[in-house]
Amino acid sequence: MNLTRLKSGIWQVELRIPVDVRHVLGRTRFAKSTKTLDKRAAMKVAVPTLAVWQQMIELARTNPSQLQSHKTALQSCGGSEKKTATDSKHFDWLAVLRPSQAEHYRHLDFSQGIPLPAFMEQFSVEHYVNPRTRSEARRYILEATQFLPTLLDLTKLNAQRWVSAEESKPIAVRRSAKTMQKGVGFLSEYVAWLQYKGLLGHDAVNPFRDLHFSKQLARSRQYLCNPPINPERSFVENSFNMKQRSFLCVRPDTVTARSSRS
């Protein structure tokens, strides 16, 4: 199978054009991105694509005059090397991820549109000055990609799914509404920037505006800390500095016993 794995991890199908018909087809090879990290899925895309290319090579040998009628097939099967190169650049964001991180996006289908993080790096550099803020913006965009893989998936329903998924997490790892609102703010600015740059239609609705944040995301005002070294005692600390909050740090299993004594 004529498959090549790009630096981004995306599989690309390729076919060298025989020398005797290169002057007819006006190129030396065919190439098309399969837009997937999964080799099996890439093979399913490659089989019909290679069949069309083989037909065009045969037609170039036997009846070159009919090639014009196959122009649409050529374009749909990656006939434009310039377009293929552009598609590959849309996956540069995958190349900078660690293999363990890139693995999280293997199951996503990017074949129907431009990946959401395609312009992430350009946006973070142009929109933010602080390196930490840039890193946060990229992190939230990558996280939202699990629910909105491509620009075509930018819908209110998918955006709400991302926020709602946080509510189903165990309370120990569940983030607060304030944290999620911060992430949604980054995504909303990203969509607005895409529209400003002409990378997304101006008539498209920004799906990250006016989202619903459940009260389940709110954390308790009391924070449990690690138990003291002596398991028989609990430690209660009240800050005397008015600029600091008071924290109740107790062992969870001693709260009831401690209260009964007092």
Q: Which residue has the higher pLDDT, 68 or 4?
A: 4
pLDDT at residue 121 is higher than 50? yes
Spatial contact of 45 and 22, defined as CB atoms under 8 Å apart: no
Q: One-letter amino acid identity for 71?
A: K
State how far the alpha carbon of 203 is from the alpha carbons of 121, 154, 206, 208, in Å.
Answer: 24, 13, 9, 15
Average of per-residue pLDDT across 190-201: 91
pLDDT at residue 189 is higher than 50? yes
Structure token pair of residue 128: 């933010």
Q: One-letter amino acid identity for 80?
A: S
In the predicted model, what is the mean pLDDT of the chain?
A: 77
pLDDT at residue 225 is higher than 70? no
pLDDT at residue 81 is higher than 70? no
Q: One-letter amino acid identity for 222?
A: Q
Domains in the chain, CATH or no CATH each: 1-90 (no CATH), 112-219 (1.10.150), 221-262 (no CATH)
Average of per-residue pLDDT across 79-83: 50
Query: How many other C-beta atoms can be found within 10 angstroms of the C-beta atom of residue 219?
Result: 13
What pLDDT was estimated at residue 158?
Answer: 92
What pLDDT was estimated at residue 251?
Answer: 44
The CA distance from 23 to 19, in Å, is 8
Of 14-28, 143-157, 246-260, the range with the highest mean pLDDT is 143-157
DSSP 31-72: EEE---S-HHHHHHHHHHHHHHHHHHHHHHHH-GGGGGGGHH
pLDDT at residue 239 is higher than 70? no
Structure token pair of residue 184: 């949604």
Of 10-19, 58-67, 133-142, 208-217, the range with the highest mean pLDDT is 133-142
Average of per-residue pLDDT across 172-180: 89
Average of per-residue pLDDT across 247-259: 45
pLDDT at residue 132 is higher than 90? yes
Q: Which of 19-28, 77-86, 124-133, 215-224 bottoms out in mean pLDDT, i.e. has the lowest?
A: 77-86
pLDDT at residue 144 is higher than 90? yes
Average of per-residue pLDDT across 187-215: 90
The CA distance from 4 to 11, in Å, is 6
Of the pLDDT bands very low, low, confident and very high (cuts 50, 70, 90), residue 219 is: low
pLDDT in tens, 149-174: 999 899 999 999 999 898 888 888 88
How far from chain centre, in Å, is Cα 18? Answer: 39
**pTM attached to this predicted model:** 0.59
Spatial contact of 102 and 127, defined as CB atoms under 8 Å apart: no
Structure token pair of residue 224: 């449990």
